[in-house]
Structure 1
Amino acid sequence: MARECSANLCTCCTSFITSTGLVILFLWLTLRTQQPKCFLQSLYLPSLNKTITSNHEHSNNTVIFKLKLINTNKDKGVLYHTVHLTFALLLDANTTRPLANTTLEAFYQGHGRTTQKWSSAEAHGGGVNSTVNGTVFLRVDFATRVNYKIMLFYSKRHRLSGGANVEVNVSSGEKLDPKGIRLGSEAAPLRLRWIALSTFLVSLCFYMTY
């Protein structure tokens, strides 16, 4: 009788450990998120386009750009809050001067989707009037907060930000690199408190049953 009870107890413990492990694995796969990727696809400074400026008395100090945002999560949507962008002119290797800033309105991005946003900003502070060794470099930074949509619920807000130095053609005003430039991003990892809570509930149900 004692051996039978011991065997049943071992079976129950094994089943509990296995079930708990599977629940934790499922929740980890469900709640695990990957931060979106942001690329600067296009950048154009009309004031540097010599063809235009040679035929007009007043230069256009607008900064025209296109961003590409990629949601790498195949089963989670991303809600972007206001996206803040800043552009600065590199005066030397360690010094920058603010050039322009703008914002993009909040938007939602579906599972595994790619979104492209055209926008512009008005340059100030003298415009682009400085070069580094005959080359124009801009520092482009972005910052926003995102919520991940997991099933029917949204996670807490997470900060997403990054930037890169962009080389601009001094004759055409377009960025030299024809490919999209990754604006390095960082985001706080999604906390796993829900996994801990779920594990506790599974354990509680087990003890109430047995």
Structure 2
Amino acid sequence: MGAEPNSCCSCCSGFILTMGLTALFIWLSIRVDEPKCYIDRIYVPALNKTLNSTSNSTFFFTLKLVNPNEDKGIQYDAVQLRFGVFFDLNATRSLGNATIEKFYQGHQKKAKKLGLVEAAGAGNLTESVNGTVYFRVDFTTAVKYKILLWYSKRDRLWGGANLEISDSGEKKDSKAIRLGNSPAIIVSGASKQFPWVYLTFTLFIYNCLCYYYCV
């Protein structure tokens, strides 16, 4: 009879430890970091002063996408991109759209996707504000995170940034420009997920453990 309190304490301690480790594992499993989207390069031949090709209405870009998650893959829907050029401090004129087809990205992988846009008119490419050409780039997409053997619900993402184009026809900043995390931006629209599926799984584990320790 005297050993029962110690037995009860051991049982409770084991239960608490098990629940703590289970909660930690589940939290690490469901926590996700949204992917980062960048314009890595852009080249506008019509703005390259050495070419004298102002009638060329085509420009090229490289989109870089980064998966920061160590143990979660990302399934992208098609990435839709919209390009515009500023003709005033607060107004843009549409240049055209581009689509990156849906794809899967592994853990902590980087991907570069090439694309081109046939602008609505070559003259639009040379629009400037105080003598400087600024492009506006916006993107929208949706992603699902692959956690172990299943996928999360779709999470919609969007963002954008302004790019200053130099006389070489490339963006003035040599670094990749993040769409959604740069000066003069539209902030990323990723919504924070509430993991209902994983909460249900946690409660199931909790009930199983309660039954095991109480029987």
Which TM-score applies when normalising by structure 2? 0.87
Q: Judging changes above 3 Å, is the alpha-carbon distance between structure 1 residues 196 and 13 closer, same or farther for their aligned structure 2 residues?
A: farther
Q: Distance in 2 between matches of 1:19 and 1:150?
A: 22
Question: Quick one: distance in 2 between partners of 1:48 and 1:110?
Answer: 37
Q: Would you say 1:141 and 2:176 are equivalent positions?
A: no
Distance 1:101 1:66 in 2: 14
Equivalent-residue separation in structure 2 for 1:34 and 1:138 (angstroms): 28
Aligned to 2:119: 123
Partner residue in 2 for 1:15: 14
What corresponds to 2:192 in structure 1?
189
Q: Give the match's secondary structure for 1:127.
A: helix
User: Paired residue for 1:95?
Assistant: 91
Between the aligned partners of 1:48 and 1:203, the Cα distance in structure 2 is: 63
- Counterpart-to-counterpart distance in 2, 1:158 and 1:122: 30
3-state SS of 1:21 partner: helix
User: Are 1:36 and 2:35 matched, yes or no?
Assistant: yes
Per the alignment, residue 109 of structure 1 pairs with: 105
Structure 2 spans left out of the alignment, 5+ residues: 181-187
CA contact (8 A) 2:40 2:175 kept: yes
Identity over the aligned pairs, expressed in percent? 47
* Pair 178,83 (structure 1): closer, same or farther in 2 beyond 3 Å: same
Highest relative contact order (Cα 8 Å, sep 6+), 1 or 2?
1
In 2, distance between residues paired with 1:207 and 1:128? 67
The question of whether the paired residues in 2 share the 8 Å contact of 1:20 and 1:199 is answered with no
Higher strand share: 2
CA distance in structure 1 between the partners assigned to 2:112 and 2:193 by the alignment: 26
Contact 2:43/2:171 (8 A) holds in 1 = yes
How far apart are 1:4 and its partner, in Å?
4.1
Q: What does residue 68 of structure 2 align with?
A: 72
What is the distance in 1 between the residues matched to 2:202 and 2:72?
A: 23
- By how many angstroms is 1:99 displaced? 1.4
**Partner amino acid, structure 1, of 2:99:** T
Residues 86-132 of structure 1: CA distance to partner in whole angstroms, max 9, x if unpaired? 01111222111111111110111111111111100111155224211
- In the alignment, the residues of structure 1 paired with residue 129 and residue 195 of structure 2 have an alpha-carbon distance, to the nearest angstrom, of 47
In the alignment, structure 1 segments of 5+ residues that lack a partner are none
**In 2, Cα distance between equivalents of 1:202 and 1:10:** 21
**Structure 2 CA distance for aligned equivalents of residues 4 and 201 of structure 1:** 31
Cα pair 2:43 2:59 within 8 Å, conserved: yes
Amino acid at match of 1:110: G
For the pair 1:201 / 2:204, whether they are aligned, the reply is yes
Cα distance in structure 2, aligned partners of 1:17 and 1:186: 38
Work out whether 1:159 is the aligned partner of 2:156.
yes
State the match for 1:53 in structure 2: 52
Deviations along 1:56-77, one digit per CA (max 9) or x if unpaired, are xx71111210011111112111
* C-alpha RMSD of matched pairs (Å): 1.8
